[in-house]
Structure 1
Amino acid sequence: MDTPEAVGSEPFEPFLLPSPQPHVGCDVCSDLVEQWQTARAEGDYSRATDASVLIRRHPHAVGER
């Protein structure tokens, strides 16, 4: 006799925003991208979101982004 699968047995698929676009040549952005990639690879989507927000908010001169 087959047993039904447990409710919620589907893998978790988080809502993911597009990859952040770091400023080329910025060391801070490069470090944050590494943090973002590591967090995503480890499944830590909260930390990945934090890094993504920091990348998007990291200041650069207008028109350079």
Structure 2
Amino acid sequence: MNDKQFKELNKKLDIITRLLAQSLLKDIKYQKEKILILSSIGYKALEIADLLSTTTNTVYVTLSEAKRDGIIS
């Protein structure tokens, strides 16, 4: 596999994972819950912010508050 093919495959995988994440969250009402779910399945703050059309600061604050409140470790 050459570099061009790898980049194209990576782009397609990114689209698929985004669609799956959106499908997973479609019935979740609150952004906080969405952030916690995405974080729990391994998404990084920047990726979560991008998926939810919010800022990384919002994601960091939500995760920090959840840790403080003992919701996540």
More helix per residue: 2
TM-score (norm 2): 0.28
Provide TM-score, normalisation by structure 1: 0.30
Larger radius of gyration: 1
Q: Using CA pairs below 8 Å that are at least 6 residues apart, which structure has the higher relative contact order?
A: 1
